[in-house]
Amino acid sequence: MKTLKRSSLLLTLILATFFTASAQGYITAAGLRLGPSVGLTVNQRLTRNFSVEGIVHKQFLGDAYLTALAKRHLAIAGRGTNLYFGGGLHTTLDRKDDNGIGLDAIAGLEVKVGKINLSADYKPMFNFASGDFENHFGLSARLILIDNPKRFGRNNNDGPFNFNRNKGREKNFGKGNGPFRF
């Protein structure tokens, strides 16, 4: 209960610091995830509507996990507010009696507020070896490390890496369509 109060206070302070939600996306964000576990999260956009997330988290009275998720984003109320859903795999980092590998699903809502990405989600997980099924609700606050919404503009849906060798090279040259031009 104390963790929930602290999480609510942290989110309130962050929201009070940034008054308006931005309608632009982000590329890379990293921060803290709170719920039945506490951990670090990194979210990397690959295209306008697809991202991958890595989470390292430790349950308060349980195991530590490494989780990898793929997520599909659906913009609502502008490009800075998204519904997302997806799935992935996890492995325990400290369990010695079994391999601790399992499946995860995720569904949630995220909003970009200034240079902060806030999200609330539901993340059930199933462990193959033990047969355990757990329901996790989490809150994440991430600092946006790379913020370049033009990279995912209308004419470039390829994500941060533009591998289209000849398509539109001349007209898009020098317009920041990805850090690598091949």
Same domain? For 143 and 61 the reply is yes
Number of structural domains (the chain) is 2
Joined together, the tokens standing for residue 133 give: 């099924």
Same domain? For 11 and 39 the reply is yes
Range of the domain at 94: 2-147
Same domain? For 56 and 85 the reply is yes
CA distances (Å), origin 51, targets 20, 70, 152? 24, 6, 12
Q: In this structure, are residues 25 and 31 in contact, taking their beta carbons and an 8 Å threshold? A: no
Q: How far apart are CA 131 and CA 128, in angstroms?
A: 5
Higher pLDDT pick, 174 / 133? 133
Same domain? For 142 and 181 the reply is no
Q: Which long-range contacts (CB under 8 A, 24 or more apart) does 160-164 make?
A: 160/27, 160/45, 160/46
Place of tokens 């997980």: 125
Same domain? For 137 and 169 the reply is no
Same domain? For 174 and 128 the reply is no
Q: How far apart are CA 29 and CA 33, in angstroms?
A: 12
pLDDT digits (tens, 9 = 90+) for 152-175: 554 444 445 444 444 454 444 455
Q: How far apart are CA 158 and CA 178, in angstroms?
A: 9
pLDDT for 57 equals 93
Q: How far apart are CA 182 and CA 178, in angstroms?
A: 10
Same domain? For 92 and 161 the reply is no
pLDDT for 149 equals 59
Q: Which helix (H) or strand (E) holds 17?
A: helix 2-17
Higher pLDDT pick, 23 / 122? 122
Closest CA to 49 of 20, 17, 82: 82
Joined together, the tokens standing for residue 108 give: 């949630």
Same domain? For 116 and 163 the reply is no
Same domain? For 127 and 167 the reply is no
Query: β-strands 180-181, 161-162: how paired?
Result: parallel
Q: How far apart are CA 59 and CA 88, in angstroms?
A: 18
CATH code, 137: 2.40.160.20
Q: In this structure, are residues 30 and 41 in contact, taking their beta carbons and an 8 Å threshold? A: yes
Same domain? For 37 and 19 the reply is yes
pLDDT for 53 equals 97
pLDDT digits (tens, 9 = 90+) for 2-41: 555 554 544 444 443 333 333 347 899 999 999 999 999 9
